[in-house]
């Protein structure tokens, strides 16, 4: 017997998911490979053979992941930097061959909020072109490398005709982000839904945390899933194939998929499908999302401007 939803008011506006599903589930993959490492270590990357091999493990992990999802007949979303798509066309072929979505993740995994608007635009377009060239399809979705979404990113996405983003962390269900050039669906994530803090140890990338055991890591993802299922939420998780495609970790992901399937009433979908479904609900008036105008701030808040601080100190 199915449990009744006990806390339906925890999320103020739970989404009426299709076919009576209690939550929507999207495993999403950031196929960074060595793009970021090349970008950040232009002159020294080539001499760092071990770390390159660790990052290029994507070549082993991506086909393994695609096979796993084929066994369960699940289609998922892969965010692929443009350079990665050009450098490893066999990965793109494998992902597209599995029927999955490929979405935008920068060109060399450059951080948008560390660039000028012109530079951001340049790399953004270059990445779109690379994906169009390698997949034959223009991407509709975006995730900022490093979650480095800038003050200008929402505007750029709207101008470039993107329909959704999945970099922000402002809700538990889809919401609208508005910019001066238009609006997009935001499919939010959260650091606790990313495999990086659970597993990554690599001194060359300045991450030296103690990796969690797969069971322990998956407790976090499973708890978030159970809550999404109870409350009508959206479960978007971020996996790096070279991190989570390792044997024991991927085996534990498979157990999680089986747990979800056994629990039932789950809508497994790509982010493109979730975004299109949500858009339809909004357009026909059957569901109202929260929304946020971006950027939240254009600069320093008035209370912290240097003139305000000087005045404040003088009047004390």
Per CB under 5 A, residues contacting Zn ion are: 30, 32, 145
State how far the Cα of 84 lies from the Cα of 32, in Å rounded to an integer: 7
Nearer to Zn ion (CB atom), residue 145 or residue 245? 145
CB of residue 211 to Zn ion, shortest distance in Å: 19
Beta strand spans in the chain (E) = 23-30, 77-80, 101-104, 141-142, 164-165, 175-179, 182-186, 201-202, 207-208, 234-239, 266-268, 291-293
SS3 state of residue 205: helix
State how far the Cα of 88 lies from the Cα of 81, in Å rounded to an integer: 11
Nearer to Zn ion (CB atom), residue 32 or residue 155? 32
CB of residue 34 to Zn ion, shortest distance in Å: 12
DSSP state of 2: P
Nearer to Zn ion (CB atom), residue 145 or residue 214? 145
Nearer to Zn ion (CB atom), residue 157 or residue 266? 157
Distances (CA, A) of 181 to 61, 153, 157, 240, 245: 38, 11, 9, 32, 38
CB of residue 87 to Zn ion, shortest distance in Å: 15
Q: Taking the CA atoms of the chain, what radius of gyration do you get in angstroms? A: 20
CB of residue 98 to Zn ion, shortest distance in Å: 20
CB of residue 45 to Zn ion, shortest distance in Å: 16
Question: Is the Cβ–Cβ distance between 118 and 153 less than 8 Å?
Answer: no
Nearer to Zn ion (CB atom), residue 66 or residue 238? 238
Which residues are paired to 183 by β-bridges? Answer: 178
Nearer to Zn ion (CB atom), residue 32 or residue 101? 32
SS3 state of residue 283: helix
Nearer to Zn ion (CB atom), residue 145 or residue 289? 145
CB of residue 259 to Zn ion, shortest distance in Å: 26
Nearer to Zn ion (CB atom), residue 100 or residue 279? 100
Residues 6+ apart with CB under 8 A from 113: 144, 148, 149, 150, 151, 153
Question: Is the Cβ–Cβ distance between 225 and 24 less than 8 Å?
Answer: no
- Which residue of this chain has its Cβ atom nearest to Zn ion in the complex? 30
CB of residue 78 to Zn ion, shortest distance in Å: 11
CB of residue 109 to Zn ion, shortest distance in Å: 6
State residue 283 phi and psi, 5-degree precision. Answer: -65, -35
């Amino acid at each position: 017997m199915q449990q009744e939803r006990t806390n339906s008011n925890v999320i103020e506006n739970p989404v009426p998911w299709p076919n009576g599903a209690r939550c929507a589930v999207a495993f999403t993959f950031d196929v960074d490979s060595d793009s970021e490492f090349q970008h950040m270590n232009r002159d020294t990357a080539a001499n760092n053979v071990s770390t390159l091999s660790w990052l290029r493990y994507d070549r082993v992990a991506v086909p393994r992941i695609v096979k796993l999802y084929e066994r369960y007949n699940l289609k998922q979303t892969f965010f692929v930097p443009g350079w990665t798509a050009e450098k490893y066309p066999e990965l793109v072929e494998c992902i597209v061959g599995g029927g999955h979505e490929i979405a935008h993740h920068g060109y060399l995994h450059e951080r948008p909020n560390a660039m000028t608007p012109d530079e951001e635009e340049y790399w953004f377009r270059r990445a779109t072109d690379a994906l169009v060239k390698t997949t034959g399809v223009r991407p509709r979705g975006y995730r900022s490398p490093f979650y480095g979404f800038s003050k200008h990113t929402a505007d750029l996405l709207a101008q470039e005709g993107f329909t959704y983003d999945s970099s922000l962390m402002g809700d538990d269900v889809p919401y609208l982000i508005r910019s001066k050039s238009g609006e997009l669906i935001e499919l939010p994530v959260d650091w606790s839904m990313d495999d990086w803090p659970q597993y990554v140890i690599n001194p060359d990338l300045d991450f030296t945390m103690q990796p969690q055991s797969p069971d322990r890591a998956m407790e976090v993802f499973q708890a978030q899933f159970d809550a999404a299922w109870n409350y009508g939420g959206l479960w978007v998780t971020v996996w790096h194939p070279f991190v989570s495609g390792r044997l024991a970790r991927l085996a534990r992901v498979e157990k999680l998929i089986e747990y979800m399937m056994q629990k039932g009433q789950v809508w497994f979908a790509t982010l493109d499908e979730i975004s299109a479904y949500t858009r339809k609900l909004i357009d026909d008036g059957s569901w109202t999302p929260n929304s946020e105008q971006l950027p939240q701030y254009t600069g320093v808040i008035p209370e912290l401007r240097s003139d305000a601080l000087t005045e404040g100190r003088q009047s004390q």
